[in-house]
Amino acid sequence: MTFKSALEIDCGLRYMYDSLCIMSSCGRKMLLSSDMMTTKSDIEAYYGRLNDIYKHDCLKIAHKLMYLKDIHNTLSRLSDGSTLDDIELFEVKHLAILSSQIRNMLTEQNIEAITLPQLDKVVEILDPDKLNIPSFYIYDSYNEALREVRKQMKAIQAQGDDIAEDKRQELAMLLQQHADLELQVREQLSQQLLAYVAPLTDTLDNLSCLDILIAKAEQIRQMNLCIPHIEEEKYTLYNNMFHPQVKAHLAEQGKAFMPVDITYEHTPVTIIGANMGGKSVVLKSLALNQLLAQYGFGVAADHCNINPVEEIALCIGDEQSIVKGVSSFAGEILAIDAVIKKIRAGRKLLALIDEPARTTNPVEGTALVEGLLEVIDHCNGAFILTTHYNIENSDVKRYRVKGLNNGQMDYTLEETHCGDVPHEAIAIAESLGIDSQWIEYTKKNLNN
Amino acid sequence: MPFISEILQYDSLSIVGLEKNVGKTECLNYILRRLPLHNTRVAVTSIGIDGENKDQVTSTKKPEIYLREGMFLSTAESHYRERRLVSELIEITNERSSLGRIVTARVVVGGKALISGPSSGVSLRRWAAGIKRYGIDLTIIDGAISRLSSASPAISKAMILSTGAALSSNINTLVQKTKFVVEMIGLNILEDDSRDTLCDIEAGVWGIDIEGNLVDFKITSALAINTLKVDITKGMKIIYTVGALTDKLLNLIAESKNIKNVTLVVKDFTKIFVSETAYRTFCSRGGNIRVLQKSKLIAVCVNPTAPNGYVLDSDTLCRKLREAIKLPVYDIVKNEYDI
């Protein structure tokens, strides 16, 4: 799955992407097309590099990366054997000089996360006068005849506007000669540069990658994220997990986000708790953090162990589709069915399901959820659902949101062994200040 | 020819034409040929396409832009490839036009080139700010036909206006039309304590009441003025429209009893889109318009030849226009003025 398609998962990944300060368009493009990492070795190697960048102050390099241009098209034209024009040669020279500047900065700081190929030869080819500035034209020193033609052109131009007809013709001829000579030089240069297509492409890709790493490191600082431990066999664990987008939103209202701890393995997990207890936020946080880890971002927790999966399935009950003509219930059931099929096929999945069968009657709903947990009983990845139903299954791990405590919501998750759901709906409804008569009649009905 | 020395007093100049084929490019070439380059760094660009060999609409020949050694130019990459001069490419900017990225270069051996710079006022402003780092003393913007926006004081501090037989082949009409534009360019700057407050507003129609309080009329532009059922001049001393000023708003205020006590304010002359008739009526009833920013009109250049071949008498045209606008008027093609 590419990062671009992962952005479609409604868990707050887009918020993380939007707040990522990538300087170059090729960096952004590289991130969007990057595939999710699924093995411990890949992820750990990537975090090794990210950590290296994180430990250093890369602000100056980031400023340099603002000048990085995507010249993949130019490079592919070069490798096709085409003759580059002035603008393309400028792009190549610009990249080579930028890269050597950044290369020096990396060496100065002992950063090893990125290695940039040596491009001194390319600079040499495109900077015959050793001016060491990133501008470019077909310099006189490339070709003696060119120098001579330009001298003659200048001499005629110096005579002003009213030049005689024969001079005008001479100038036109010189211009033609000049164009031919320049083309000749450009052909030679393109030929010489052909040998450097691979290191130039490498440079462009490595600089894009550096841009992404610096942006991720900066995000870790700004959002207080952590670098996770990757555990392929063991359980997944989060200490003080949070959701950056919800946290920022709450901070705007002067409120604090209450982080949660959660641990799970291959046994299915149920999360029960009062309405407005943050169950859906927990599911979204789990999906988000799993994605963050597998795309090499900082993870929103104080500390965590993460078991990589092949796929993340987040069903939050909005599968209703007017276009497809299915009701909210049908949409949801079909989405869960797809998850079951994948688990059966042995795919390593992190399945997160928010209140399955919530839109039907409680009797059948409870049965459906119990049935679902029995079907799953054990999976390759992890299976977590939230529910309001009293689930009797024995072979599940249960979490409960602490819930209302002196009128204040306590979002902490605690492990529990009984399936009894809390009865706090009316208290919460009351705290929302709804119609008092409605509350009164509800309580009367409940006591009958 | 005095205006070259006057141009050098400003750091930005735009050249705008009131119509196609009024000799704007000739005027630009004239200036570019005469600027002293030994102590002035000059950068040239245009808004939108300009400098084509042929006029895209009427297929008449257009003079090319001639750039001298040492000048900087910013143009679209496709036009850069077609240049007929030797230049050193300095930067590929982040600005784009329909013809590709805008590149900046320094001329090594003079010659002709097609200039087509950033296509909007906003990107032109960014360009002007960005090019400063090359130590440019004077930026020259070749304005687009009948798009006065490049002459906005927000983009250039000084301007030269081109007019000519292409606008009208009747001398009196031509003088009249040009005079009206010159009058709009010459509108005075608002002198009121609220000027800074008004400068910060980005959209809508606003007022300043007699006590000096800012009032928002809660409409997005003067075009929606009809949705207001109240007399907006009541109790106001200033009405400010950020966007375009049209006849509708002008007439509305002209009909108000309060017209003599209220000043109508626009950002700058490029926002004025009123007919002369409406403006004259407005003024005769005692109304007055002020601007927040003003550009300096250095001179008016005329081209007495219309694209259809009709030629006006150059001397008469220059004399009549000079009398009407009280500013220097030049026919650059006819008279090879000395510096």
What is the rounded CA–CA span in Å between residue B330 and residue B318?
A: 7
Q: Residue B189 — left, alpha, or beta (φ > 0 → left; ψ -120 to 50 → alpha)?
A: beta
The Cα–Cα gap between A33 and A256 comes to 35
Establish if B106 touches chain A: CB-CB under 8 angstroms.
Answer: yes
Interface mutation vs chain B, best among A137, A156, A174, most B CBs within 10 Å = A137
Asked if A135's CB is within 8 angstroms of B88's CB, the reply is: yes
For residues B206 and B195, what is the distance between their CA atoms, to the nearest angstrom? 12
What residues contact residue A119 under an 8 Å CB cut-off, 6+ apart?
A95, A96, A99, A100, A196, A199, A200, A203
Q: What are the tokens at A228?
A: 């996770």
pLDDT at B339: 39
Q: Is B103 on the interface with A (CB under 8 A)?
A: yes
List all residues of chain A from 90 to 109 with a beta carbon under 8 Å from chain B.
Answer: 90-91, 94
- With a CB cutoff of 8 Å and minimum separation 6, the contacts of A326 are A319, A320, A334
Residue A94 contacts by C-beta under 8 Å, 6 or more apart in sequence? A67, A69, A134, A136, B92
pLDDT the model gives residue A422:
74
Q: What is the CA radius of gyration of chain B?
A: 21
- A153 to chain B, any CB pair closer than 8 A? The answer is yes
Whose tokens are 């109304």? That residue is: B287
Residues of A in contact with B69 (CB under 8 A): 154, 157
Distance from CA of B36 to the nearest CA of A (A): 14
Exposed, middle or buried: residue B37 (CB in 10 Å: 0-12, 13-18, 19+)? middle
Q: CB distance from A154 to chain B under 8 Å?
A: yes
Chain A: closest CA distance from residue B87 (Å) = 7
Q: State pLDDT tens for residues B149-179.
A: 667 777 788 999 988 888 888 888 889 999 9
From the list B90, B92, B109, the residue facing A69 with the nearest CB is B92
Chain A hits for B103, CB-CB cut-off 8 Å, are: 87
The string of pLDDT tens digits covering residues A391-407 is 887 788 889 888 777 76
Report chain A residues whose CB lies below 8 A from the CB of B77: 87
Q: Which of A304, A382, A323 is nearest to A348 (CA)?
A: A382
| Pairwise CA distance, residues A257 & A274, whole Å | 17
Asked whether the predicted pLDDT for residue B248 surpasses 70, the reply is: yes
How far are the Cα atoms of A150, B245, B261, B290 from residue B256, in angstroms, in the given order?
Answer: 69, 17, 10, 18
- Comparing C-alpha atoms, which of B126, B104, B121, B122 is closest to residue B44? B104
Residue A93's alpha-carbon distances to A119, A134, B90, in angstroms, are: 10, 7, 11
d(CA A423, CA A274): 7
- Mean pLDDT in residue range B255-282: 88
Q: pLDDT digit string (tens) for B117-128?
A: 887 778 888 888
Contact yes or no for B88 and A136 at CB 8 A: yes
Chain B contact set for A138 (CB, 8 A): 86
Question: B89 and A87: CB-CB below 8 Å?
Answer: yes
- Please list every residue in chain B whose beta carbon sits closer than 8 Å to the beta carbon of residue A149: none
Spell B102-131 as b/e; 16+ CB within 10 A means b.
bbbbbbbbbbbbbbbbbbebebbeebbebb
Yes or no: is domain A226-447 CATH 3.40.50.261? Answer: no
Q: Hunting for tokens 């031509």 — which residue is that?
A: B174
- Does domain A3-213 fall under CATH 1.20.120? My reply is no
Res B336: pLDDT: 58
Q: Point out the residue among A87, A94, A136 whose CB comes nearest to the CB of B80.
A: A87
Kindly state whether B90 is in contact with chain A, defined as any CB-CB distance less than 8 angstroms: yes
A327 and chain B in contact, CB less than 8 A: no
**From the CA of B52, how many Å to the nearest CA of chain A?**
19
E-strand stretches of chain B: 12-17, 42-46, 65-67, 72-76, 84-97, 100-113, 138-142, 158-164, 205-209, 214-216, 236-241, 245-246, 263-266, 272-273, 288-291, 296-303, 329-330
What's domain B3-185+295-330's architecture? 3-Layer(aba) Sandwich (3.40)
Cα–Cα dist A359/A355, whole Å: 9
**C-beta neighbour count of B284 within 10 angstroms:** 9
At A183 the pLDDT is: 94
Nearest to A137 among B84, B108, B110 (CB): B108
> What angle separates helix A25-33 from helix A197-223, to the nearest 10 degrees?
80
Confidence tier at B294 by pLDDT (50, 70, 90)? confident
CA B141 to CA A157: how far, in whole Å?
A: 24
pLDDT band at B148 (very low <50, low <70, confident <90, very high): low
Q: What is the pLDDT of residues A140-187, one digit of tens each?
A: 999 999 999 999 998 888 776 667 888 888 888 999 999 999 999 999
Q: Do A135 and B87 touch (CB under 8 A)?
A: no
CB contact under 8 A, A136 and B89: yes
Nearest to A157 among B81, B91, B110 (CB): B110
Question: Which residue, A291, A287, A306, is CA-closest to A2?
Answer: A291
CB contact under 8 A, B33 and A69: no
Angle at B99 between CA B97 and CA B104, to 5 degrees: 70
CB B284 within 8 A of CB B145: no
CB < 8 Å to B81, chain A: 85-87
- Res B199 pLDDT > 90: no
Stated as kind and residue range, the H or E segment containing A169 is helix A165-193
Please, which residues have CB within 8 angstroms of residue B229's CB and are 6 or more apart in sequence?
none
- Gap between the Cα atoms of B313 and B334, Å rounded: 11
Handedness of CA B9, B10, B11, B12 (dihedral sign): negative
> Along the 448 residues of chain A, how does pLDDT read in single tens digits?
999 999 999 999 999 999 999 999 999 999 999 999 999 999 999 999 999 999 999 999 999 999 999 999 999 999 999 999 999 999 999 999 999 999 999 999 999 999 999 999 999 999 999 888 889 999 999 999 999 999 999 888 877 666 788 888 888 899 999 999 999 999 999 999 999 999 999 999 999 999 999 999 999 999 999 999 998 877 899 999 999 999 999 999 998 889 999 999 888 999 988 777 788 899 999 999 999 999 999 999 999 999 999 999 998 876 555 556 667 778 888 888 999 999 989 899 999 999 888 888 888 888 898 899 888 877 888 999 998 888 887 788 889 888 777 767 788 888 888 767 777 788 888 888 888 888 888 888 888 7
Cβ contacts of A90 on chain B, cutoff 8 Å: 89, 92
What are the pLDDT digits (tens) for B230-243?
777 888 888 898 88
How much of chain A, in percent, has pLDDT values that exceed 70? 97
Can you give the C-alpha Rg of chain A in angstroms?
31
Confidence at residue A412, expressed as pLDDT on a 0 to 100 scale = 85
- Chain B residues with CB under 8 Å of A26 CB are none
Q: CA A228: distance to chain centroid?
A: 16
CB pairs under 8 A between A and B: 46
- Subunit contact B33:A161, Cβ cutoff 8 A: yes
Domain boundaries, chain A: 3-213, 226-447
- Sequence spans of domains, chain B: 3-185+295-330, 195-291
Q: Map residue A201 onto helix, strand or coil.
A: helix
